[in-house]
Structure 1
Amino acid sequence: MKKFLLFTLIILGFTILSAFMAEKTDVLGLRNMTLSASFDETKDGKLTLSWDPLPYPCFYKVETYSPTTGLVEGEPESKFWGSNITMKASLELPSSAIPMSYRVTAYGMFGQLTDPSAPIANPIHSKNPVSPSIIYHYKEDTPASLMPFLVWHSVPNAVCYEVELLAGKPAQEGGTAPDKANHLESTQLIFTNGWQANLKKYANRKFIYWRVRALDIHHQPIGEFSPAEELYIDPNLPQPDHPLLNEFDQMPNFEMPIYPVYQWIPLNGVERYEVELMIHPPAKENDNVPTADAAWRKVVNSATACYDEYPRPYAGDYYWRVRGIDKSGNPVGVWSDAAHFVVKQQPERVPVAVLGDSITHGGGAVSNSPAALEYSYTTYFDFPCLNLGRSGDTSTMTLQRFDQDVLPYKPLNLLILTGTNSLRAGSINPDIIINDLNAIKAKCEANDIRPIFLTLMPVNPANIQFAFHTATDKQWKAKLQQVNNWVRNQPYFIDLEPYFYDKSRQVMDTSFSIDGLHPDVRGKMLMGEIINQHKDVFRK
């Protein structure tokens, strides 16, 4: 027995030594090997990255990056989102709503075997020109019903989408104009990345074609149409009778805002919806009975999203679902599948939190809610942060909810950005905003919280008028300067304002905010990058 153990140890030692020598001398030439990568997409829109495995036992680290704006001194060219370890030569990638790239590195028993691969661009958001990538495919073996959901990956900064149905392939793929020869119908009244089509008039056709393109606030194309796809039809299939949860393009490490927003792809022609929130799964999926002990429910006249008016600070599991409601208040179809999110247990004192209005809560490009975290500036921080923003706040409203929403977390540092809605209102003078900010400061200091004020950003009254049909106080800029002068005289502040003007230095640059008020993806990236470079004002 002793001889056997000795022999085993000798073999093991020789194996380890051989592995050590092979890795350190690179006798197999592994360092010069190039990893050839490819992507595969599942039916729910998730991507798997695959590459040629090395001819040597190893594991792989896959790092995820996205480009930064390049507008902030000291900010790296790419934001690092995290890494994953896998023993296989493939990895199911975290979902994303912005351009991402990946670098793969092989590791052996004694360290790194290869240099990181060249960046591998995610194909969904790396197209040039831009076009939506389709998620739901209706092929001959997986046909559509007469009321199918057509779903695609969202396009950053798209306000709406146009779907075109065609009798045959278009004369030219892509492009920005509907096809003349095979055009059947089209609609631009789609304000999310999916649409329930009504194909009943095409029930006698075996298939038609469809394609989609993104549009801006003026209904001008963002990029071009997606490649036209066959849409096979089976009139005998059951038709979807509940909204489709919209969780397709969530950002990595998604967390629901403290003031949750629930979003879905609507039923065709249904404009009212009921949402219910539960602390347990429903007794039965897709039934038509309200949950008796639901924590909250609300009916909204909105086709794609519902804003919860209450914060959800208590740690635990939450479930929500939605169903259509007709004009008489009766259910349309059944409840959707139940969505699940988790509110994490926070430490006794949160290191950093942000407090403010819709600019902080999130959302942008008019149609995208705070549940789309690519429109949240906290997404682009390189440190953890709790988002206490609430859409619609004036500076007074932010002050009024301080005790309820801030004190339970007692953050060491509180970033404060509120007053833009007050700025636009002609009835609110800048002294009111400053008094509110002073009161927030006093509450912070009384509770051992460091208040870090962010200067208000400029607005663009013309774009606000076009987007929301709302006038902006003509004195907004003078009010802005008065408020920001106060902010710049505080012990701790971060100056956002100078970065966001257009070339005339008069209003918010449209490239940062389509609606003139809420920064879009690039604007929110820029906000995050500016704050990243000023962490010296934080209390450790």
Structure 2
Amino acid sequence: MTPRSPRARRTTVVACATGLLLAVAFPPRVMSQSSSAVEFAGLARYRAANAALGAPQPGTSRVVFFGNSITEGWARHFATMFPGRPYVGRGISGQTTAQMLLRFRQDVVALKPAAVVILAGTNDIAGNTGPATLEEIQDNLAAMAELAQASGIKVLLCAILPVYDYPWKPGLQPAPKIIAINRWLKAYAAQRGATFVDYHTPFADERGGMRPEHAADGVHPTDAGYRIMAGIVEPLIQSALSKR
């Protein structure tokens, strides 16, 4: 694991749900490109949708799926894969855990869900917003989980899907890094009383990537891949909700 360098990243203190202060590390080049956290985090992406959604209906258990393009693409299939379920997709293509943490309060906590399904980290490994150590990725995932639990929201932490190579940034050899974060996610979920969702094991091939029938580009699931994911997570959601 690469040690943190004070010169490599700029730290911003952000006030989040429940009054906690969180230090989020931003690569200097990202901060120079974007003059505000709104631009960086995509806070406007779901602002109108969140306002229109309103509070959950009495007697229902809203679940927010929170993530990047994998979650954003999956949300288009929720009506057929989770019929009748009050499931809400809040994924933004390309986002890293630092970006997601900044919008966690408005796109998760403020929606008053019973549970949140967090799937994130692969874009950090790809370096979408600059270099990120495994420890920094884990810190951001932990911060999201702890904010949710402090708000009485059940947490499902998802293993990062296997990737052999990123089409938009080849040569990074992400497979072992993904395995390392997933190992940490499983242990951390057990420590925090959260639910670990293993999307990695059913999909990984001998190279640590995904088969074409499950992800045509090696990263984003096909319809068949999403159906497998739905079959994995749905019983785990119901089990988590039953423990409320």
Taking structure 2 as the reference length, the TM-score comes to 0.69
Separation in 1 of the partners of 2:156 and 2:97?
A: 15
Separation in 2 of the partners of 1:362 and 1:529?
A: 17
- Contact kept, 8 Å, 1:415 with 1:451, in 2: the verdict is yes
CA distance 1:379–1:487, shift in 2 (3 Å)? farther
CA distance 1:379–1:392, shift in 2 (3 Å)? farther
Separation in 2 of the partners of 1:345 and 1:444?
A: 17
- Contact kept, 8 Å, 1:350 with 1:409, in 2: the verdict is no
Separation in 2 of the partners of 1:379 and 1:488?
A: 29
Amino acid at match of 2:67: G
CA distance 1:472–1:533, shift in 2 (3 Å)? farther
Separation in 2 of the partners of 1:411 and 1:419?
A: 22
What residue number does 2:62 align with?
Answer: 351
Separation in 2 of the partners of 1:308 and 1:444?
A: 18
Q: Does residue 415 of structure 1 match 2:117? A: yes
- Contact kept, 8 Å, 2:81 with 2:230, in 1: the verdict is yes
Q: Does residue 497 of structure 1 match 2:200? A: yes
Q: Does residue 487 of structure 1 match 2:200? A: no
1:472 Cα deviation from its structure 2 partner = 4.8
- Contact kept, 8 Å, 2:164 with 2:175, in 1: the verdict is no
1:459 pairs with one of 132, 146, 163: 163
What residue number does 1:360 align with?
Answer: 71
More off after superposition, 378-387 vs 407-416: 378-387
1:345 Cα deviation from its structure 2 partner = 5.9
Separation in 2 of the partners of 1:446 and 1:496?
A: 26
- Contact kept, 8 Å, 1:381 with 1:529, in 2: the verdict is no
- Contact kept, 8 Å, 1:356 with 1:389, in 2: the verdict is yes
What residue number does 2:50 align with?
Answer: 313
What residue number does 1:62 align with?
Answer: none
Which runs of 5 or more structure 2 residues have no equivalent in the other structure? 1-41
Q: Does residue 433 of structure 1 match 2:137? A: yes
1:450 Cα deviation from its structure 2 partner = 1.4
2:235 pairs with one of 533, 537, 540: 533
CA distance 1:526–1:472, shift in 2 (3 Å)? farther
Separation in 2 of the partners of 1:403 and 1:345?
A: 15
Separation in 2 of the partners of 1:446 and 1:345?
A: 19
CA distance 1:505–1:499, shift in 2 (3 Å)? farther
Amino acid at match of 2:157: F
- Contact kept, 8 Å, 2:214 with 2:221, in 1: the verdict is yes
Q: Secondary structure at the match of 1:435?
A: helix
Q: Give aligned-pair identity as a percent.
A: 27
Amino acid at match of 1:419: G
Q: Secondary structure at the match of 1:517?
A: coil
Separation in 1 of the partners of 2:100 and 2:215?
A: 23
Separation in 1 of the partners of 2:115 and 2:171?
A: 32
1:357 Cα deviation from its structure 2 partner = 0.8
What residue number does 2:226 align with?
Answer: 524
Name the one with the larger helix percent.
Answer: 2
Which runs of 5 or more structure 1 residues have no equivalent in the other structure? 1-306, 316-342, 364-369
- Contact kept, 8 Å, 2:55 with 2:111, in 1: the verdict is no
When Rg is computed on C-alpha atoms for both structures, the one with the higher figure is 1
1:512 Cα deviation from its structure 2 partner = 0.5
Give per-residue Cα distances to partners, 1:446-502, cap 9 Å, x unaligned. 1111111011110131xx42xx4x32522x122212211121121321111111123
- Contact kept, 8 Å, 1:460 with 1:509, in 2: the verdict is no
Separation in 2 of the partners of 1:493 and 1:393?
A: 21
Q: Does residue 446 of structure 1 match 2:147? A: no
What residue number does 1:391 align with?
Answer: 93
Amino acid at match of 1:404: Q
What residue number does 2:23 align with?
Answer: none
Name the one with the larger strand percent.
Answer: 1
Q: Secondary structure at the match of 2:201?
A: helix
Separation in 2 of the partners of 1:472 and 1:527?
A: 27
- Contact kept, 8 Å, 2:72 with 2:92, in 1: the verdict is yes
Separation in 2 of the partners of 1:418 and 1:500?
A: 16
Q: Does residue 471 of structure 1 match 2:175? A: no
Amino acid at match of 2:223: V
Separation in 1 of the partners of 2:212 and 2:172?
A: 19
Query: Number of matched residues?
Result: 190
- Contact kept, 8 Å, 2:117 with 2:156, in 1: the verdict is yes
Q: Alignment RMSD, CA only?
A: 2.6
Q: Secondary structure at the match of 1:386?
A: strand
- Contact kept, 8 Å, 2:55 with 2:112, in 1: the verdict is no
CA distance 1:537–1:456, shift in 2 (3 Å)? same
More off after superposition, 525-534 vs 349-358: 349-358
Give per-residue Cα distances to partners, 1:92-151, cap 9 Å, x unaligned. xxxxxxxxxxxxxxxxxxxxxxxxxxxxxxxxxxxxxxxxxxxxxxxxxxxxxxxxxxxx
Q: Secondary structure at the match of 2:162?
A: coil
- Contact kept, 8 Å, 1:493 with 1:537, in 2: the verdict is no
Separation in 2 of the partners of 1:530 and 1:381?
A: 12
1:347 Cα deviation from its structure 2 partner = 3.2
CA distance 1:402–1:472, shift in 2 (3 Å)? farther
Taking structure 1 as the reference length, the TM-score comes to 0.33
Give per-residue Cα distances to partners, 1:28-66, cap 9 Å, x unaligned. xxxxxxxxxxxxxxxxxxxxxxxxxxxxxxxxxxxxxxx
1:533 Cα deviation from its structure 2 partner = 3.1
Q: Secondary structure at the match of 1:473?
A: coil
Q: Which has the higher contact order (CA 8 A, sep 6+)?
A: 2
